[in-house]
Amino acid sequence: MFITLLIVTFLIAIIVSLIVVKFFDKPIEGILKRLIEDSISYAWQKYLKFAIYVVGISSGVRIWELEKYLTPQSYSGSQIIELTYERWILEVYRTVIETLQGVAWLLLVFFVFALIAYVMTRASENRFKKLKSEE
């Protein structure tokens, strides 16, 4: 039963990460093309997609939390917690929420740095235009 739960949470984390990648694909592409006007923006986009999958799966499949179904817990009278229908629902819900939460933090960091880079790019472009017009 534990192996099934592990596989199900893994698949759910992959699917949720895939949905997030599809949802944010165009905005990420647009931001990277604007900031990095080179063919390297495609490589950065691929890397960010990979990072979304890694963070999503590692956040969604919480091995340390799933260990409670294998080893007795000291606070529960040294019994292994049973995987009931209610626990399955709870674990599926946790997987979705934790996957989204991990990916949201990753994207927040990306967008903050992208905003900083965008502001710096605009400032340098404006300075260049100003110097160009003075000539």
Task: Identify the residue with better confidence: 68 or 91.
Answer: 91
The three-class DSSP label of residue 4 is helix
C-alpha to C-alpha distance for 61 and 67, rounded to whole angstroms: 11
Q: Is residue 11 part of a domain?
A: yes
Torsion region of 77: left, alpha or beta (phi above 0 gives left; psi -120 to 50 gives alpha):
left
Task: Identify the residue with better confidence: 74 or 12.
Answer: 12
- Tell me what the mean pLDDT of segment 20-41 comes to: 90
Query: What pLDDT score does 95 carry?
Result: 94
Grade residue 62 by pLDDT with cuts at 50, 70 and 90: confident
Q: Is residue 71 part of a domain?
A: yes
Q: Is residue 81 part of a domain?
A: yes
Grade residue 97 by pLDDT with cuts at 50, 70 and 90: very high
Task: Give residue 77's domain range.
Answer: 2-109
- Tell me what the mean pLDDT of segment 112-133 comes to: 86
C-alpha to C-alpha distance for 20 and 44, rounded to whole angstroms: 17
Summary mean pLDDT of the chain: 88
Total number of domains in the chain? 1
Q: What percent of the chain has pLDDT over 90?
A: 53
Query: What pLDDT score does 94 carry?
Result: 93
pTM: 0.81
